[in-house]
Amino acid sequence: MRQKVILTLLLVFSIFSHSSYSQDRTVINFTDGWKFQKGDVENAYEANFNDTKWQSVSVPHDWAIYGPFDKEVDKQTVAITQNNEKVASEKTGRTGALPFIGVGWYRKTFSVDVNNNQKAILTFDGAMSNSKVYVNGELVGGWPFGYNYFYFDITDYLKKGETNTLAVRLENFPFSSRWYPGAGLYRKVQLIVKDETSFQHWGHFITTPYITGGLAKVNIKSKVNGENITVETIIKDAEGNQVASGKTDARFGDELEQNIPVKKPHLWSPENPYLYTAEMNLYEGDQLKDTETIRFGIRKIEYSREKGFLLNDVPTKFKGVCLHHDLGPIGTAINKAALRRQLIILKDLGCNAIRSSHNMPSIEQLELCDEMGFLFLAESFDEWKKPKVKNGYNLYFDEWAEKDVVNLIHATRNHPCIVMWSSGNEVPDQWGSDGVKRAKWLQDIFHREDPTRPVTVGMDQVKAVMESGFGAIMDIPGLNYRVHLYDEAYKRFPQGFILGSETASTVSSRGVYKFPVEKASDKQYDDYQSSSYDLEYCNWSNIPEDDFVLQDDKDWVLGEFVWTGFDYLGEPTPYDNYWPSRSSYFGICDLAGLPKDRYYLYRSRWNTKETTLHILPHWNWEGREGKTTPVFVYTSYDSAELFVNGKSQGVRTKNDSTKLDRYRLMWMDVKYEPGTIKVVAFDKNGNVAETQEVKTAGKPYQLILNADSEVINANGEDLSYVTVSVIDKDGNPCPLAQNQLKFKVSGDATYRAACNGDATSLEMFHQPTMKLFNGKLVVLVQSGNKAGNAKLTVSGKGLKSASTQIEIK
């Protein structure tokens, strides 16, 4: 696997719903009817425990996102070694300053018919954390790692013909995370009732060991329970037409294997995320016992010393971002509409890849990446045996690491988007021989469970892994930052390529600009914001151009995963020594999902289908008249001319004199005067191709609403994200507006949350009021369970209010 790994895979994902696939399989979503209580409640596991005064909640649920923000929650005195700190200092907001620490109980009653020849499987996609699961007062089992998927056979714990009680105890320890982990049953819970003679849970693994332009051989391995088994598969294309079928009763242990030819296959890729379905039927003799409907994609991946990463034989660079699992104002509770919005924004950016940092992804995220076309690097751990934080994964590594890796692979290996695994991120075990052995042990588990994909580790101690052999044994050597060591690492490592597993960590605040404009490390300001001129970074990181040069000039660099696509709760570097500051500054988009200026810098390189032309900064600088106020343009065009109130400031053309000049157009000597700045971009023939203007705005006058979805589903979960902006009387955006706004939702929907993207704001997301941050914020409207219409009204003192209609259907 070191020099050339040919990976050919047809991947699958079972689509479950609250319905019956056959007479013997029913999947029930445990969404509603839960009771919740924070605190370690004695005897809460007992079936007859009185929970009538507990809070009624729906799952997925994050109990900590409702706050309040409090610096005492996660205040700690520590030296963060990943940030090159040598001396301990007081840190606040490191885990979002939200009350995730402690015990929480969930309880639910349910009735289910389970016959003598059936079994009941209770599944959890994630429970944060240290779960203990009880059915009818008896302990069924537990799972400590909050990011993993797990399940229990609860057949013997059920009371037939009676109401059953499910109770779940969760506990988050202090000093257990480096970011906001969330709290609670934050991913879905399901009950699967099926025949004892059936497919095993996560029992399918499908690959395509042979693909040409005219044929794909589909290899299907299915683990089963029962005797005298036959498995039949019908493969359908995206339009529902049958294109292939197969049948086998040849059995090896508990596994049956099929090889089915698919003629003229449509190959899955980010440009064409084509998905098939497979109807898999299990028979005992002539009797149908189990059926699963499976969605899958056919695609071929290869990692080559000569050509880098190839997808379907096409050289492909990763244009990726890292994403933490929180969804900003709604916390960690999984919501498919929120995830979809993120991916739509990233598609427009030109992003083609996601790294789940630094944990196992949700099934919903993988489903969407399959559908929308994103390559995926699925990560497992932020810690191995050696701790980063006192109560982190180091407590569980010896007993649970193999179990966690096995569950990760079995639950997700059939998604076409996943093209690589990561067994760790910046683990302190990079030092010493024990770490090398752990890396090899984990990689061998990944290979054993899935021989079709390579394994990487995000390595930040590059000198250490060069000396110890840690980096040499990895399938894919991943470098986190350390751009100055890329050439040496390439020479020292045997693989013949390097992945930018984590890059840039440039910091910025949307709509904030600082003077003088200069490149700076660990720069801090009195307002606890970072400049959006995109020249500020951390002592261990760099500006985007340092990675752009490596991606563009080094064929042996496989691509990059930028830290991060969106701001996230926690890690408020460079202000983790200051309060208030409770979320990150690293995002290409802010916590509300609004693009920062840096979005357009990446878009100008990554989105090759559409043009980009973006001016910064805003042009409201009262008091800076006559002072130098540089203007930057992020654009896909090579040259442009800048005008200030009609007067030319000259033409700038991208060139190789500096890294910045290669990727940005910059006018460093512009003097501020109120009015209009205008940029005129030229095509390669020197003709005017596109223009853009930014004007000095007057006083805030009117609110403007723009919904990303004017029609949402009546499922009680769907969301419309409404961007709220302020304009003056002439319609110009007001980039400095900080007005306090109020939100009201009427009709067949509810107000869910708001977010302004300000890392220093202590306003709670779920309250129907919030201040604008630099002229913008976002309001989330959530659908009800019936069709109809909803109306969002936003108002603010001294502003003309605005409303928008949202259809629920």
For residue 299 the two structure tokens come to: 């695609």
Binning pLDDT at 50, 70 and 90, where does residue 77 land? confident
Higher-scoring residue by pLDDT: 175, 9? 175
Question: In which element (H, E) is residue 409 found?
Answer: helix 397-412
The whole-model pTM stands at 0.96
Question: In which element (H, E) is residue 602 found?
Answer: helix 597-606
CATH of the domain at 174: 2.60.120.260
Nearest Cα residue to 359 out of 125, 91, 76, 541: 125
74-78, 110-114, 294-298, 726-730: least confident range:
74-78
Is residue 16 pLDDT above 90, yes or no? no
For residue 14, the model assigns a pLDDT of 33
689-711: average pLDDT: 98
Does residue 613 form part of some domain? no
Does residue 294 form part of some domain? yes
593: left (phi over 0), alpha (psi -120 to 50) or beta: left
23-37, 49-63, 72-86: least confident range:
72-86
Give the amino acid at 247. K
Contacts of 546 (CB under 8 A, 6+ apart): 483, 504, 659
Does residue 615 form part of some domain? no
Does residue 611 form part of some domain? no
41, 42, 48, 54: CA torsion to nearest 10: -10
What contacts 24+ positions apart, CB below 8 Å, involve 765-770? Answer: 765/65, 765/328, 765/329, 765/330, 766/65, 766/66, 766/329, 768/742, 768/743, 768/744, 769/740, 769/741, 769/742, 769/743, 770/740, 770/741, 770/743
Are 180 and 206 contained in the same domain? no
Does residue 266 form part of some domain? yes
Are 133 and 182 contained in the same domain? yes
659, 612, 318, 84: CA torsion to nearest 10: 50
Give the amino acid at 769. T
Dist. CA 269–CA 416, nearest whole Å:
9
Dist. CA 553–CA 103, nearest whole Å:
51
DSSP state of 583: B
Dist. CA 753–CA 761, nearest whole Å:
14
Phi, psi of 410 (to 5 degrees): -65, -35
For residue 213, the model assigns a pLDDT of 82
- On the 0-12 / 13-18 / 19+ scale of CB atoms within 10 A, 649 is middle
Are 234 and 291 contained in the same domain? yes
Is residue 242 pLDDT above 70, yes or no? yes
**Residue where a domain stops, chosen among 195, 214, 244:** 195
Binning pLDDT at 50, 70 and 90, where does residue 2 land? very low
Give the amino acid at 93. G
Nearest Cα residue to 177 out of 81, 95, 76: 95
- Measured in whole angstroms, the distance separating CA 770 from the mean position of its chain's CA atoms is 26
Is residue 304 pLDDT above 60, yes or no? yes
Task: Give the distance between the most distant pair of CA atoms in the chain.
Answer: 88
Are 582 and 676 contained in the same domain? no
For residue 287 the two structure tokens come to: 């009797």
For residue 329, the model assigns a pLDDT of 98
100-129: average pLDDT: 96
Does residue 311 form part of some domain? no
CATH of the domain at 422: 3.20.20.80
- Total number of residues shown for the chain: 809
Dist. CA 320–CA 101, nearest whole Å:
32
Q: What is the SS3 string spanning 423-456?
A: EEECCHHHCCHHHHHHHHHHHHHHHHHCCCCCEE
Summarised one tens digit per residue, pLDDT across range 762-780 is: 999 999 999 999 999 999 9
- Measured in whole angstroms, the distance separating CA 307 from the mean position of its chain's CA atoms is 28
Are 203 and 182 contained in the same domain? no
Nearest Cα residue to 478 out of 451, 460, 466: 460
Dist. CA 129–CA 106, nearest whole Å:
13
Is residue 201 pLDDT above 90, yes or no? yes
709-734: average pLDDT: 97
Question: Percent of the chain beyond pLDDT 70?
Answer: 97
Contacts of 275 (CB under 8 A, 6+ apart): 238, 268, 295, 296, 297, 370, 371, 416
Nearest Cα residue to 662 out of 686, 682, 638, 685: 638
Are 180 and 81 contained in the same domain? yes
Nearest Cα residue to 138 out of 163, 167, 112, 169: 167
**Residue where a domain stops, chosen among 662, 695, 728:** 695
499-506: average pLDDT: 98
Summarised one tens digit per residue, pLDDT across range 546-583 is: 999 999 999 999 999 999 999 999 999 999 999 999 99
Report the Cα–Cα distance between both ends of the chain, in Å, rounded. 50
Give the amino acid at 418. I
Which residues are tagged catalytic?
426, 502
**Residue where a domain stops, chosen among 249, 273, 301:** 301
Phi, psi of 212 (to 5 degrees): -125, -175
Are 249 and 367 contained in the same domain? no
Q: Are strands 34-38 and 102-110 parallel, antiparallel or unpaired?
A: antiparallel
Contact 325, 331 (CB under 8 A): no
Are 167 and 227 contained in the same domain? no
Does residue 722 form part of some domain? yes
Q: What is the mean pLDDT of the chain?
A: 95
Binning pLDDT at 50, 70 and 90, where does residue 18 land? very low
Phi, psi of 486 (to 5 degrees): -60, -50
Give 525-548 as a DSSP string: -TTS---TTS-EE-TT---HHHHH
Are 669 and 750 contained in the same domain? no
Does residue 312 form part of some domain? no
Phi, psi of 140 (to 5 degrees): -85, -40
For residue 81, the model assigns a pLDDT of 77
Binning pLDDT at 50, 70 and 90, where does residue 207 land? confident
58, 63, 68, 74: CA torsion to nearest 10: -160
The domain of 658 spans 621-695
Number of domains into which the chain is organized: 5
528: left (phi over 0), alpha (psi -120 to 50) or beta: left
Are 268 and 342 contained in the same domain? no
Dist. CA 472–CA 464, nearest whole Å:
11
Dist. CA 55–CA 57, nearest whole Å:
6
Are 161 and 98 contained in the same domain? yes
Phi, psi of 50 (to 5 degrees): -85, 105
Binning pLDDT at 50, 70 and 90, where does residue 208 land? confident
CATH of the domain at 709: 2.60.40.10
For residue 84, the model assigns a pLDDT of 77
Q: Under DSSP, is residue 192 helix (H, G, I), strand (E, B) or coil?
A: strand
Angle (CA) 384-387-392 rounded to 5° is 80
Cα radius of gyration (the chain): 27
Dist. CA 34–CA 165, nearest whole Å:
11
Are 688 and 706 contained in the same domain? no
Tokens 């339009």 correspond to: 239
Summarised one tens digit per residue, pLDDT across range 404-440 is: 999 999 999 999 999 999 999 999 999 999 999 999 9
- With residues binned 3-state (H G I as helix, E B as strand, rest as coil), the percentages for the chain, rounded to 5, are 15, 40, 45
